[in-house]
Every structure is written in C-alpha cells, then in structure tokens.
C-alpha cells in the first residue's frame, strides 16, 4: 500500500455504466477511462443505489442512505453543514480538499436560488478548503461558477469561458499544479461535471463524430418510432459528451504524469446514475432498469496496478460504499456508523475474494414519487443480488423480477410468473431485510 496517496474523484452526471468502449458499447470510444479500468480496478457492476442527482450526491459525500438525512421533496433541502462528510473525514486525516463543479446539495431554497448565478453560502459548501462550483446547470455552454480558495480568497460569480467539462477540467488542472508544489501534502480533489446530461450538447468536433441514424440502439429500446427517434437524437450528443469527458480524463492523467504525481495518486472515476435513453420506453434516470442504476466505477492510477492480471471485479460497489472505500484507500479510519462497505482491499489484492461482512446484494431505492415525462411516477424499492437477480416493488405491488444472467436487457419480467414464486419469496424476504436494516419504510406486496 502506498503511503498517504493523493485521491481524486472524477464524476459525470447521467453516465450509464454500459456507455464505455471497454463495456462493448459500439457507439463510443473511451480510451483513457478504458486504460484506467484495465490497469486499475473496474467495478463493472457498480450501482447508483438511488439513481437521481441529489440523493446520490448526498450518499457519496456522507456515506448515508438519502432517506436517513436528506429531504428530497420539492424543494430539496440543503446538506446539513454539521453532518460529517468526506471533506471533514479526510481533513482530519491530514488532507487538503478541493471541490470543482456541480454541487446540487443546496436545493432550490429561497425563491430565486435556482438561477445560474445564485451563490451558495460558504457554510453550505461542505467544508472543502477550496470550493469552486455551482448548484445545478443544464446548459453546458452557459455555466456560471463561484466559490472560495484555500488561501481565503473569494471567487466571484463568473461565466466559464468555454464548454463546461473543458473549463472545469482547466480549474482542476490548476489545483493539481498547485498541489505539485507541495509534494508532501496529500490532497483530495473532486471534479464534478454536468455532462453527459441533457440537453446532450458537446463541442462541434465531438458532435461531428456521431450520426443519429447510424447508432446501434440497445435491444430493449422498443421499436416505436417516437421512442427510437428521440433516443437516437439524444444519444448522438450523449456519446459526444462522454468522449469529451474521456479526453479530459486524459488531460488530468497527463498533467499528473508530467508533475510526477501519478504514481502516488489514486483516481476514482464514476457517475451519479445512468440514463435509460429509450430502454423500456423510458428516459433519463430515477427508474430501476439497468441503464438507470448501473454506473461506471473505476479506481486507477498509482503504483499498485503495475502487473495486475485483470482489472474487472464482480463486487457491486454502490453509492454508500464510496466514502468508506475512499477512507480505506487513504488509510483513514472508517466510522462504524457508516452503512456501506470498504472495498479498498480490492485495490491492494490481486485476488477477488469477498472480505468479512461484504454484502451479497445491493439495496436500491427511489424515495419520492417523481412526476416526470417518460419516467416512473411511483416510489420504489428493490434488491440486486451478486448472483444476478433483481427484484423491485412499487408500494403494495411487484414491479419487476429479472434473472440478469440469462436476461441482461430485462425483457422477461418474472414477477408474476408462478414458476418463479419461490424465488420471488426469497427475494422479497431479502428486500424486507434490507428495509429493516437501513431503517427505511415501504409497503411491500402480499405474496
């Protein structure tokens, strides 16, 4: 294990786990992320837990399930400044901390705070030494930032000069250069970008590579013209954004290499949730389908990966596991009250052997009835097992049960097939156990 490694989170918004060339998606090329995955650890079955921006980000920062500490009924409540989070834990371990980009942990709050130029109060920026970002933004060429630096200087509200991912990466590169001047000071940085989020706009050179008519749709996109036409139009920009993000990952890797920091920096690349993009007739996030809940999750960089035979592991790391895993990578204590699992042992070991207490399933949830077009308008709870089963319920009724081993596109719903009644009983019991364990509340169906 390296001594006091630098740590860097890089995350996009709405980037589904299947949308990488290393995952076999024929529509996209992601050489830099692929290299991180092959030389590092690739959790190719990672789960968003609650596939929606605010609750996922709450979980990644605090290590808690969103129903335990965040009110996501409109308007979403700000993150409690007194709640321990990744910044406070790592600062206590001697790290300097930086956050660059999308925050989405303040909510709408008072009237007008949803505007692009709204300034989040400093006490609501998570306690990071440097924080330069914005609450939320869905216009990649019209991004406004504000914040503060570790030296106490204020960053006034200003518009980024170019495309969001490029400009936010420029800011992170400045942080990397600054940290290179103090090599004995370990740093923790987060680069959080909105793309590949709707409206699916990327720089012209990226957009030019993707023709909607030539894209290969997933087999579970229904052959309905209005669904396929919208999916193709959105996917062209979606893949362009992902390739742009991959290029910026390459810029970060090169800067770390040039500064002599790469060998002592661990990079966690992931997303807050996926995007259905027409699969099952749905769009965007918040549904329990694979395209919505699965996210890319790679831990790369650093010396420990040299000579590793294979980077792919089957463990289903999830949102609540990100904080304990990060603390484990830092060699910092993992608080016992955190409900997630520390998967850092997979980084140091060449063998994939489940550790003590490692869960054999993952709890997934959507705690609010979200009335969005082309999305599921019911709250739901579910469980995904490591042996390949998924079971999801809406209040009082099953929604879906799938054997993902034989049906990865979820085309055969077994929830009402009596041949699989015993499996449904088994999975509902597991789901009930999870609900009790995490102190959630939900009306399960009668068997």
- How large is the average pLDDT for residues 66-74? 70
* Contact between 366 and 254 (Cβ < 8 Å): no
CATH classification code of 378-437: 3.30.1120.10
pLDDT in tens, 95-106: 999 999 999 988
Strands 130-134 and 144-148: antiparallel
Residue 395 has pLDDT above 50, yes or no: yes
pLDDT in tens, 222-254: 999 999 999 999 999 999 999 999 999 999 999
Within this chain, domains 6-348 and 378-437 share the same CATH topology:
no
Percentage of the chain beyond pLDDT 90 is 81
Q: Which of 89-103, 131-145, 273-287, 304-318 has the lowest mean pLDDT?
A: 304-318
Beta bridge partners of 131: 99, 148
**Helices of type H across 41-185:** 53-62, 86-92, 164-180
Element spanning 421, H or E = helix 421-437
* Contact between 21 and 280 (Cβ < 8 Å): no
Residue 302 is predicted with a pLDDT of 78
Residue 2 is predicted with a pLDDT of 52
φ/ψ of 263, rounded to 5, equals -65, -15
Percentage of the chain beyond pLDDT 70 is 94
Whether residue 75 is preceded by a cis peptide bond, meaning omega within 30 degrees of 0, is yes
Which residue in 173, 214, 215, 189 sits closest to 96, CA to CA?
189
Residues 6+ apart with CB under 8 A from 156: 146
Q: In what order do the strands lie in the sheet with 96-102?
A: 154-159, 144-148, 130-134, 96-102, 187-192, 6-12, 265-271, 297-300, 41-43, 312-313
Residue 74 is predicted with a pLDDT of 62
Residue 1 is predicted with a pLDDT of 47
CA-to-CA distance for 314 and 101, rounded, in angstroms? 30
- How large is the average pLDDT for residues 163-187? 96
Residue-range domain boundaries for the chain: 6-348, 378-437
Residue 372 is predicted with a pLDDT of 76
Residue 429 is predicted with a pLDDT of 98
CATH classification code of 6-348: 3.40.720.10
Residues 6+ apart with CB under 8 A from 136: 53, 102, 103, 104, 114
Q: What is the mean pLDDT of the chain?
A: 92
CA-to-CA distance for 298 and 430, rounded, in angstroms? 28
- How large is the average pLDDT for residues 305-311? 53
């Amino acid at each position: 294990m390296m001594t006091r490694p630098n740590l860097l989170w890089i995350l996009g918004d709405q980037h589904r786990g299947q949308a990488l060339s290393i995952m076999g998606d024929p529509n996209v090329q992601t050489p830099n992320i692929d290299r991180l995955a092959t030389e590092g650890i690739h959790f190719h079955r990672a789960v968003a837990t609650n596939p929606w921006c605010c609750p996922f980000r709450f979980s990644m920062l605090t290590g808690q399930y969103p129903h335990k500490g965040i009110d996501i009924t409109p308007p979403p409540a700000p993150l409690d400044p007194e709640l321990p989070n990744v910044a406070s834990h790592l600062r206590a371990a001697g790290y300097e901390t930086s956050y660059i980009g999308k925050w989405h942990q303040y909510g709408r709050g008072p009237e007008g705070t949803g505007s692009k130029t709204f300034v989040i109060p400093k006490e609501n920026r998570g306690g990071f030494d440097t924080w330069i970002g914005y609450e939320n933004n869905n216009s990649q060429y019209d991004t406004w930032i504000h914040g503060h630096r570790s030296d106490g200087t204020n960053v006034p509200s200003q518009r980024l000069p170019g495309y969001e991912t490029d400009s936010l990466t420029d800011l992170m590169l400045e942080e990397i250069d600054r940290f290179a001047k103090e090599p004995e000071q370990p740093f923790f940085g987060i680069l959080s970008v909105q793309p590949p989020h709707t409206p699916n706009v990327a720089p012209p050179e990226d957009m030019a590579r993707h023709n909607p008519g030539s894209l290969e749709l997933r087999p579970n996109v229904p052959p309905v013209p209005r669904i396929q036409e919208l999916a193709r139009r959105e996917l062209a920009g979606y893949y362009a954004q992902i390739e742009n993000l991959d290029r910026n990952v390459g810029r970060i890797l090169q800067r770390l290499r040039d500064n002599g920091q790469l060998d002592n920096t661990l990079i966690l690349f992931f997303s807050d949730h996926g995007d259905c993009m027409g699969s099952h007739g749905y769009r965007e996030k918040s549904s329990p389908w694979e395209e919505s809940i699965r996210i890319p999750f790679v831990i790369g960089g650093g010396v420990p990966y040299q000579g590793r035979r294979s980077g792919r592991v089957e463990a289903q790391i999830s949102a609540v596991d990100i904080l304990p895993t990060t603390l484990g990578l830092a060699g910092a204590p993992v608080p016992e009250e955190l409900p997630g699992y520390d998967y850092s042992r997979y980084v140091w070991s060449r063998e994939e052997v489940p550790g003590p207490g490692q869960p054999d399933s993952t709890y997934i949830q959507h705690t609010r009835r979200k009335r969005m077009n082309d999305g599921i308008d019911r709250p739901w709870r579910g469980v995904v097992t490591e042996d390949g089963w998924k079971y999801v319920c809406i209040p009082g009724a099953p929604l879906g049960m799938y054997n993902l081993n034989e049906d990865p596109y979820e085309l055969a719903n077994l929830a009402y097939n009596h041949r699989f009644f015993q499996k449904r009983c088994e999975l509902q019991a597991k789901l009930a156990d999870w609900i009790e364990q995490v102190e959630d509340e939900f009306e399960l169906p009668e068997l």
